[in-house]
Structure 1
Amino acid sequence: MSDKYMKNLTFANIAKACEGTYIGDETLLDTTITGAVIDSRQVKEGYLFIPIKGERVDGHKFIPTVFEQGAAIVLSEHELTDPAGPYVLVESTTDAMKKLAAFYRKSLDIKVVGITGSVGKTSTKEMISSVLEQKYSVHKTAGNFNNEIGLPLTIFGIRESHQVAVLEMGISDFGEMHRLSTMSCPDVMVITNIGYCHLEFLGDRDGVLKAKTECFEHMMPDAVAVLNADDDKLATVQTVNGKPAIYYGKESASGVHKSVYTTNIENLGFDGMKAHFVTPEGEFDAHIHIPGEHNVYNAMAAAAVGLQLGLTIAEIKSGIEKAETIAGRTNFIKTHGMTVIDDCYNANPVSMKSSIEVLSHAKGRTIAVLGDMGELGSDEKKLHHEVGEAVGENHIHTLFAAGELAKEYAAGAAEKSSDVDIHYFEDRETMTQELLSYVKEGDTILVKASHFMEFPKVVEALSK
C-alpha cells in the first residue's frame, strides 16, 4: 500500500477500533482512508474527519462541509439526518480518536521513541530526530502536538515509509501519561528530568516522577528506558519492566553507571558546546551548534537512543552536529543590530535558569525580558525569586519583568546584585513599550515566559 493510504484504517476497522457503529453504504467497508484530522480546513480527498466539541465551537457543525471537501467518512456523537456520506457513531469522538490512534500505531511496523520530562522535551526530540535521520526515515511530533489531542494527530501522520517515530509526550496531571503511552506504546522511552512543573496538580517532584513514569506501563515488551542519571529522582529508577535502565549523564555526576557519558565539556557561548562522548561502542568529540549546557544532555540522550536503534558512532556524531534550533526554543533572531533570543514558548524554573545562563555569554549589554511562570503550586513565589537570583548571579545587565509573580524576579535579582538595572511592570503591554525605547544596537535580549503571558508578541515588537 502506498503512503497515500493509512495502513489498516478501513471503514470497518475504524468502527471496530473506535468501538462505534458504522452507518452507511456497506459496500464501502473495505475503503481505506488517506488521512485523519480534527480541523475541517485540513480535510482532503479520502480523509476521516473527527469533530471535537471545543469550548467555543462544536466540530459536528462542519460535517456537511467536510463531505463537500472530499471527506470519505466522519465520526459523530449523534445520529446524522441525511448525511452526505458514511459515519461511525461513537459515545465520545475524543475517546474514539485515542482508541483509533492506538490501533493504528500497533498496526505499523515502526519503532517508536517516546520522550517526556519536565524540561527539554522538544529540544531533545529535535536532537534525537536529527541523529536518527542519519539512518532512518523519521516522523516526529510537530510543534506542541504532545498532549491527548496532539499525540493522536501526530500518530495519524505516520506512513508506511517511516521507519521511526519520535513522539513527544507532555502532561500536567496524573493519568495523562497512562493514556498517552497507551496510544504510543514506545520501544524506547526517554525521560529527560523531573523538575518543578505542574506542581499545582502533581504536588511535588515525587508526584512528577510518579506521573511521568506511568509511561512504563505501556511500553513494548522488549522496550528500554533511557534516563538522565544526573537527575536525583530518575537515578532512583533502577529497572524498568524487569530490564536495567539505560543511563546517560556527565562522567563526574551521581553514582549511577552510565552507558553514555561526557567529559571535557567546553562552553563556546553563542557558538554552542563541545564535548567528548563515551559510549559502549566507542568515543567521539562533537560540536553541538546550539548554545546551552542542557544541549549536551540532549545530545547524550540522542546518542543513547541511536545506539539502541543500531546507528554507528559516525552517524550519531553527524546527527548531533547537524541539529538546529526551532522557533520559540532558544531561537536566535538578528534584528536592528540586536540579537533576540526567542525562548518564549514556555517556561519553568529549570529552563529559565538555563536560558539566563545562555544569555550571560553574550557580548555587549544583556537584557532578560521575563514573564510569569504558571502551575508552580504553593512554592510559586519562592521559585520565581530563585530565577531572579539567577539573573543577578549571572551578571545580567538589565531585567525587564512583567506579571504578578514577576515582581519576585526583581526582588531576587536585586538581592543577588546591585548592578542589575531592574524594570518591573504589571502587564506585558506597558513593559513592551518601555523595552522598545530602551534597547539599542549591540544588545542581546532574552524573551521568556509561560505560554499564557503571550511573550511572542514581545519578540514580534522587537523584530518589527
Structure 2
Amino acid sequence: MTISTFFIEETLNTSFSNHAENVEFDHISIDSRSLQNSATTLFFCLKGQNHDAHEFIASLIFKGVSYFIVEYIPAEFEDKAHFCVVQDSAKALQKMATAYKKAFSIETIGVTGSNGKTIVKEWLNFLLSPDYAIVRSPKSYNSQVGVPLSIFGINEKHNLGIFEAGISEKGEMDALATIIQPNIGVFTHLGTAHDEGFQNTEQKLIEKLKLFKNCKVVILEKNDFVEKHLNCSSFTWSFENKNADVVVLSKEKKEQKTHITLKYQNNSFSIWIPFTEESAVENSLTCIASMLYLGIIPEVIGSRISQLYAVEIRLQAKKGINNCLLIDDSFSSDYQSLKIALDFLDQQKLHQKKTIILSDIFQSGLDPKQLYTNVIKALQNSKIDRIIAIGETISAQLKDLPNVFCFPSTLVFLQQFNTQSFQNETILVKGARNFHFEEIIVLLEEKKHETKLEINLDALTANLNYYKSKLKPETKIMVMVKAFGYGSGGYEIAKHLEHLKVAYLGVAFADEGIELRKAGITLPIMVLNPENSSFNAIIAYNLEPEIYSLNGLKSFLELAKQKNLHQYPIHIKIDTGMHRLGFNTAEIEPLIQLIHQNNLVQVKSIFSHLAASDDVNEKAFTLKQIELFSDAYTIITSAIQYKPTRHILNTSGIFNYAEYQFEMVRLGIGIYGFGNSEEEYKQLENVSTLKSIISQIRSIDAGESISYNRKFIAPKKMNIATIPVGYADGIRRAWGNEKGYVLINQQKATIVGTICMDMLIVDVTNIDCQENDEVIVFGTQPSIVEMAKVIGTIPYEIITGISQRVPRVFYKN
C-alpha cells in the first residue's frame, strides 16, 4: 500500500492547497534536519512546548520538500508548496497511521511494561523471524510520534508486526492502542519508571493495560495484581506459581549461562539461556512463553534461545583508529533503522568524509530490487563518500555505484583489512547480527582500558527542553561547553547542540573554541575568558570575545584596526557584584567613548553574571544585580544607539528568575543533568554514566588488610573485587574507605580501603557476580550529587575532573 495525497485527503477529510494530481510518498518525516527529506517526503509540522516545525518550512522547501501537513500556512510560503491544514498535526499523524494499519490484516504483537520492552521486542523479532515476515518498531520508537512512524514501515509482504508502546502519563495509551491494534499482548514488567506521571502504581498499570483492550491474550509473568485488571485471557510463566501455563521447575547458573527446566502441558524440557542476569533471564522467559503460545516446539525454542544476544538499542559514537569517529550500530540491519542511523551519522560526524560499512538488509518485506533502490537513495541523500558492502545480495545490488567496495562476507573483509585505509573520517558500521560486525568494531575502535564514560544525548536534549519550557519561544539560548563540555566531551556535545539549533556556544578560552572550529562547528562561539595574547587566534577562527576591561578593549580595537576589520562581534561584560571579571560602574563612560561610532567592532551582546541565583535567601542581592545590569545597559545603548542582546541568567537563574530572561540566557551545568537545588535537580535526567568492569575477584580471611596504609582490616572472611578505575580517572580518594560504593548487578558494593591511582576495591561478599561483570561507578545510582555531598564538594568539580584518558561514548536510544 502506498501513501498518497488521495489517501491523506480521504483520511484527514481535508485537501492540499494548489493541488490536483495524486502524488505518492516514500518517506514520512517530522525532523527538518534529516538528510532523508526530499521531493518524495511528506512532512508533518509538529508543534510542541519547545519547538514549532512550521519555522523550518523554508529550509525544507529548499531541500525539495513540497507537501506539508500543517496547523497554519505561513503567509510567505502559501504559493511555494502544497499544504494540508489540520487542527493538530500530531493527531493527524496518529490518525493517518491508524488508517494505514487498518489496511493490513496481519497478526500484531503489542509490547509494553516498565522495563525490557525494546529488548523483548528485538528478541522476539530474532526468535520468530524464521517463521514470519516481521515488521517492528525501529530502536525504541514507542512514543506518541514514534509509534506512528513505526507503523508506516508495514508493507504487503509482512505477516507479523511487533510494536512497543511506552507512556509517561495518564491518557497516552488510548492513542497508541488505536494505532497499533494488537491482537496479542506482551507485558514485560511493572516497575517504578515514570511513577511521577501517575497517582499510584494501580493507575499506571491500568493505563498500560489499555494497549491490550482488544487482544485475545496477554503473555506475562504470572501476577494476580496485573491479571485482575486484564479484559482478556492470559498466558503466563512463573518461577513459583504452579498455576502458570509455563512453570520453571529449576534454575542453575553455569559459566555465564543459566540452565532452566520448564513444565508446559504436562511435559518438561530444558533450555540454556546465554545470560545470568536476572532481568535477562526474565525477558528470555517472556520470549519462551510467547513462542510456546504461538505453537513453536520446545526443541526449536531451545536452539533459538541459546543464540540470543545482548541487545544494544543505542546508537553509539566512539573514538576510532587514525583520528576517525566510529558510529556503532553493528547488531541490526533493516531499512527503517538505516535511515535513523544515517541521520545520527550526519549529526555526529567529526570529519566531512563519511564512510558506511553495511551488510545485507533483512526483513524489509520488499523485493531486493525495490529495497536496494530505496537504500541507494538513502545513501545518496546522506552524501556518503565511501560504501563498503558486505554480503552477496547487497554487493550484487550496489556493485555498479561509484566508491563502492564489495565483499562477500565479513571474513573476507577482515582478511583484507588495512588500518591505514581509514583516516580522518566518520564511519558508520551497520550490519545484521549474523554478519558479526562486532569484529569490525574491535579493529576500528581506538584501543582503551575498560572504563568508559557514557553520555546520553537523549537526556541532554530532554534537559535542554526542560529549561526551554521556562522560557519564551523567542528567547535564545547559549550553552556552555567549556571545560571539555563540563567533562562530557567538547566537540561531540557541541555537534549535538548545533543539531538542536541552540543560538550560541560558550567556551572559557580561545583554544577550546579553536578545537570546535577545527572539528567543523559553525555555530557562533563566545570566548568568556580571552587573554589579550589570544585575540589574533580568536579573529582567525571567527570566535567572539568577551570584553571585560578597558585594557582588553583597547588591545582588541588596535588589532582590529591593523586587520582592517569591520563590525567584528564582541560581547561586553558588566560586573554587577560577582567581582570576578567585567566593567564596573566607573568604567561605563570610558567604555562608551571607545565603542561609540566605532565601526571596527559591533557589540553583539551586553551581559553580566549572577553570583547567587541558586540561593533563594540571596534574592534581594540577585535582584539588585539585575537592576544594576539593566541600568548599565540603558546607559550604554542610549549612547551607541542600537540595542545588543541582553543576558544575565545562568542555569539556576533560568530556574529561579525566568522573568528576567531578556533576549538570551546562558545554560551551563543544568543541561548536563545537575541542578543547584533539590527541586531543580529532580526535573533533570542523568546524562553521564561512568562504567567499568570487575578485573579480579578474590577471597581474603578475617584480619587481612586491603589497599595502601592498611586503612581497612577485614572483620571476617570476605570476597572482594578489583575495579580498574581510580583517582587518576577522577574518582576522589575521599570516596573510598567505606564512604562510597559502586553498583554491581544492581546491588551496592562498598568501596573498602584506599582508592588507588588506577584501581579501587569493593566488597562483593553478598553479591552474585563474576569477573568481567559490568560496574556502575556513578550514574543514576550512585549519583554525582550523592558523591559530592559525601566528600564535601560540588557536582561541577567531580564531573569536570573525569580524566580525558577515560573514553567518552555518546549514544541515542
Identify if the C-alpha distance between structure 1 residues 340 and 404 changes in structure 2 by more than 3 Å, giving closer, same or farther.
closer
Matched with 1:295 is 280
1:13 to 7, 19, 36: 7
Note if 1:247 corresponds to 2:236.
yes
| Partner SS for 2:290 | helix
1:340 is displaced (CA, Å) by 6.2
Aligned AA (1:394)? I
The answer on 1:260 being equivalent to 2:246 is: yes
User: Structure 2 CA distance, aligned partners of 1:245 and 1:368?
Assistant: 47
Quote how far apart the aligned CAs of 1:118 are.
1.1
1: distance between equivalents of 2:792 and 2:297?
51
Deviating more after overlay: 187-196 vs 275-284? 275-284
Aligned-pair distance for 1:100?
0.9
Q: For 1:295 and 1:314, how far apart are their aligned partners in 2? A: 21
Aligned to 1:365: 722
**Structure 1 residue corresponding to 2:259, chosen from 274, 280, 295:** 274
1:225 to 207, 218, 236: 218
Alignment map for 1:423-442 (pairs within 5 Å): 426-427=794-795, 430-431=798-799, 433-434=801-802
The answer to whether the Cα contact below 8 Å between 1:306 and 1:316 also exists between their aligned partners in 2 is yes
Cross-structure match for 1:418: none
Question: Does the 8 Å CA contact 1:10/1:33 hold for their aligned counterparts?
Answer: yes
Per-residue CA distance 1:313-345 (angstroms, 9 max, x = gap): 34433432332223367x999863537697979
Preserved contact between residue 46 and residue 70 of structure 2 (Cα < 8 Å): no
Residue in structure 2 matched with residue 192 of structure 1 by the alignment? 188
User: Residue 73 of structure 2 aligns to a residue in which SS?
Assistant: coil
Flag the 1:74–1:278 CA change in 2: closer, same or farther, 3 A.
Answer: farther
Distance in 1, matches of 2:796 and 2:161, equals: 38
How far off its partner does 1:93 sit? 0.7
Change (3 A) 1:95 1:428: farther
Q: Tell me if 1:147 matches 2:134.
A: no
Q: Distance in 2 between matches of 1:27 and 1:328?
A: 41
SS in 1 for 2:277: coil
Q: CA RMSD in A?
A: 4.4
C-alpha deviation, 1:400, in angstroms: 3.7
Query: 2:767: which partner in 1?
Result: 394
Contact 1:402 1:427 in 2 (8 A): no
2:18 maps to: 24
**SS at structure 1 position matched to 2:7:** helix
Structure-2 residue corresponding to 1:373:
none
1:60 aligns with 2:54: yes
Measured in 1, the distance between the counterparts of 2:85 and 2:277 equals 50
Q: Distance in 2 between matches of 1:429 and 1:183?
A: 47
SS at match of 2:21: helix
- After superposition, residues 344-383 of structure 1 pair within 5 angstroms as 363=697, 365-366=722-723
Q: Provide the rounded CA distance (Å) in 1 between the counterparts of 2:288 and 2:781.
A: 41
2-structure distance, mates of 1:312, 1:339:
42
> Partner letter of residue 197 of structure 1?
A
Give the partner amino acid of 1:233: F
Q: Specify the alignment match of 1:327 in structure 2.
A: 312
Q: Is the 8 A contact 2:2 2:24 kept in 1?
A: yes
After superposition, the C-alpha distances for 1:411-447 in whole angstroms (9 at most, x for unaligned) are: 9xxxxxxxxxx9797537724735778x9xxxxxxxx
On the 8 A contact 2:235/2:293 being kept in 1, the answer is no
Q: Is 1:110 aligned to 2:110, yes or no?
A: no
Alignment pair present for 1:207 and 2:203: yes
Q: Does 1:406 align with 2:779?
A: no
Q: Which amino acid aligns with 1:77?
A: E
The aligned counterpart of 2:685 is none
Unaligned runs of at least 5 residues, structure 2: 315-330, 332-437, 460-691, 698-720, 727-741, 751-765
Find the aligned partners of 2:29 and 2:37 in 1 and give their Cα distance.
7
Any idea what the Cα deviations from partners look like across 1:284-307, whole Å, max 9, x if unmatched? 433333441222221221122223
Q: 1:279 to 1:87 in 2, by over 3 A?
A: farther
Q: 1:53 to 1:277 in 2, by over 3 A?
A: same
Q: Match for 2:450 among 338, 342, 348?
A: 338
**Which residue in the other structure is 1:138 paired with?**
134
Match of 1:317 among 291, 295, 302: 302
Q: Tell me the distance in 1 between the aligned counterparts of 2:90 and 2:181.
A: 19
Q: Does 1:89 align with 2:85?
A: yes
The farther-off stretch of 170-179 and 85-94 is 85-94
Q: Aligned in 2, Cα 1:59/1:407: closer, same or farther, shift over 3 Å?
A: closer
The AA in structure 1 aligned to 2:244 is K
> CA offsets, 1:247-296, max 9 Å, x none?
1222xx236x2223333322246x34332344449654333334412222
Structure-2 change in CA distance of 1:161 and 1:388 (3 Å): closer
In structure 2, how many angstroms separate the alpha carbons of the residues matched to 1:428 and 1:232? Answer: 46
Cα deviation 1:342-389 (Å, max 9, x = unaligned):
79799xxxxxxxxxxx978975524899xxxxxxxxxxxxxx99x986
Give me the whole-angstrom Cα distance separating, in 2, the residues matched to 1:77 and 1:399: 46
Question: Residues 309, 424 of structure 1: CA spacing in aligned structure 2 closer, same or farther, 3 A cutoff?
Answer: farther
The secondary structure found in structure 2 opposite 1:152 is helix
Deviations 1:90-143 (A, max 9, x none): 111111111111111111232221111112112212221111112122222222
**Which whole-Å deviations, capped at 9, do the CAs of 1:160-190 have from their partners, x for residues lacking one?**
2222221111111111112211111112111
Q: 1:44 to 1:109 in 2, by over 3 A?
A: farther
Say how many residue pairs are matched: 392
SS at the partner of 1:75? Answer: strand
% identical aligned pairs: 22
Mapped to 2, the partners of 1:341 and 1:65 lie a distance apart of 36
Q: Which whole-Å CA distance do the structure 1 matches of 2:273 and 2:83 have between them?
A: 50
TM-score between both structures, scaled by the size of structure 2: 0.42
| 8 A contact 1:264–1:275 mirrored in 2 | yes
User: Any conservation in 1 of the 2:110–2:185 contact (CA below 8 Å)?
Assistant: yes
Amino acid at match of 2:131: K
Q: Provide closer, same or farther for how the CA distance between residues 187 and 430 of structure 1 changes in structure 2, counting only shifts above 3 A.
A: same
Tell whether the 8 Å contact from 1:75 to 1:88 is kept in structure 2 after alignment. yes
Q: Unaligned 5+ residue runs, structure 1?
A: 1-6, 347-357, 370-383, 412-421, 440-456
Does the aligned pair in 2 maintain the 1:195–1:208 contact within 8 Å? Answer: no
Whether contact under 8 Å (1:113, 1:167) holds in the other structure is yes
Mapped to 2, the partners of 1:395 and 1:407 lie a distance apart of: 25
